[in-house]
Structures are given as structure tokens and as C-alpha cells.
Amino acid sequence: MSSSALSHRNTRAFRPEMLKAPRDFFVPEIVHQQNASNLALEIGAGKGKHALGFAPAHPDTHLIAIERTRTKFEAFDKLASKEALPNLTPIHADAIAWSVHALPPASLQHIYLLYPNPEAHNPNQQWLNMPFFEFLLSRLQSGGKITLATNIESYMDNAEQQATILWCLPSMRYKVPQNSARTHFEIKYLARGETCWELVMQKPEGYQTRFDTWQSNKIA
């Protein structure tokens, strides 16, 4: 690995051992299944529009969709219960603490970060600026992907730069088509005539993080 590929390992490390498991925490059965190679995670699922469309369209993938805000989660959970999709698990939790305690290393095929909070006044909280992002990468399988979408060009510019320079990830940036309607926020932004951006990053073979062997004792 080139020296630039080690750049994220010179930054302040995330401390998973400092985080308590969320209230009412449980590890979904799918995480324990040997053949769960098609596991995807959505962080900040809102009222679940993407998750509820994704699950029936991808019957071979199991999606765990996490939302922290109670009111949004309750709306999502109500619809999810009605549709009873066997490959969708809605979770009400902070995704950082939940991921630390529920996900084994290299367990995810795809991670979706769709229209995250802009964090304009606190850029340290943007996903690719957070030490947690290294932990998230450790949970991704080799060749696994992360899809980030936003309507904020400066958020996308920074994310693209961080993906390349700090995290050493190959990535592709796209404009979201005007007729896309994956999430409530996407529909709102496109209806206002705004441009929405998408960045798809891929974890290369042989990629190393400082958490590749770290696992919570909550995962039996």
C-alpha cells in the first residue's frame, strides 16, 4: 500500500470502546447468519421511503435502515410493519453506537448515506470528516460500496476530496437525474430545481483500517 493509502491511519482514531449500546439494543438475527453476504445499511433513513422501495426491488439483499429521530422512525416503522418485508429491518437508534455494537468487521456490501444533515456550522460532524468513518469502512466488505447523496455542492466537494485524499477510496461523482425520487428530501430538492449530487465510493481489495479485528462483545 502506498504511503498516501495510509493517510487516514495518521489521524485521531475513533474510540468504539467508549460508546454504550443504544437503549433496547439487540443484534438482528440476519447479522448472525453465515450467508448474510448481501447485507446493506442505510444511515438516516428518515420516514423510510428509500428503504421501503429498495427492499422489494432487491430481494437478495437484506437492508438494515436506521433512523435516530423518534417521530420519523415511528412513521417508517408503521409502514414497514404494514408491508412486512422479510429483507428489511428498521432500527430506531443512533447509527454510530448501533453500528459499533451490532456489526462485525467486513459484514456490509453497501452503505447508504442519503441526504445527511448538512452540518454547515459543525463540519466535523459531516460523515467523511468523522473519525467514525474509518470504523464504518472496517464494517464494509472488500469491494463494498458507500453511496452518499446531497443537494449541497460544498458538502459534495468536501466529501469527494476526503474520499480521495484522506480515505484513499476510488469514487465516482454523478448528478442525480431530475426524475429520481428515492427519498422525501430528494423529491423536495429536485422539485425546487436544485441539483443533487451522488458520490459512490468503493473499498479496494487489501484496504486496512485500525478496526479490522475489533468487534463488540455484544455480537455473540
Ligand X SMILES: C[S@@+](CC[C@H](N)C(=O)[O-])C[C@H]1O[C@@H](n2cnc3c(N)ncnc32)[C@H](O)[C@@H]1O
Residues that bind ligand X (CB under 6 A): 43-46, 66-69, 72, 94-96, 114-117, 183-186
Report in angstroms how near the CB of residue 135 gets to ligand X at its nearest: 13
Nearer to ligand X, 16 or 46 (CB): 46
What is the arrangement of strands in the sheet containing 62-67, beginning at the earlier edge strand? 88-92, 62-67, 39-43, 108-114, 140-150, 197-202, 171-175
| Whether 136 contacts 168, CB under 8 Å | no
CB of 5 to ligand X, least distance (A): 27
Minimum Å gap between C-beta 18 and ligand X is 15
Output the smallest distance, CB 35 to ligand X, in A: 27
Shortest CB 161 distance to ligand X, Å: 22
Rounded Cα gap, residues 110 and 40, in angstroms: 5
67 vs 160 by CB, closer to ligand X: 67
d(CA 164, CA 171): 7
Of the pair 201, 207, the CB lying nearest ligand X is at: 201
Q: Which of residues 132 and 211 has its CB atom nearest to ligand X in the complex?
A: 132
**164 or 184: CB nearest ligand X:** 184
Q: How far is the CB of 79 from ligand X (least distance, A)?
A: 13
Q: Which residue sits closest to ligand X, CB atoms considered? A: 44
- Comparing CB distances to ligand X, the nearer of 183 and 209 is 183
Q: Give CA–CA dist 85/96, Å, rounded.
A: 25
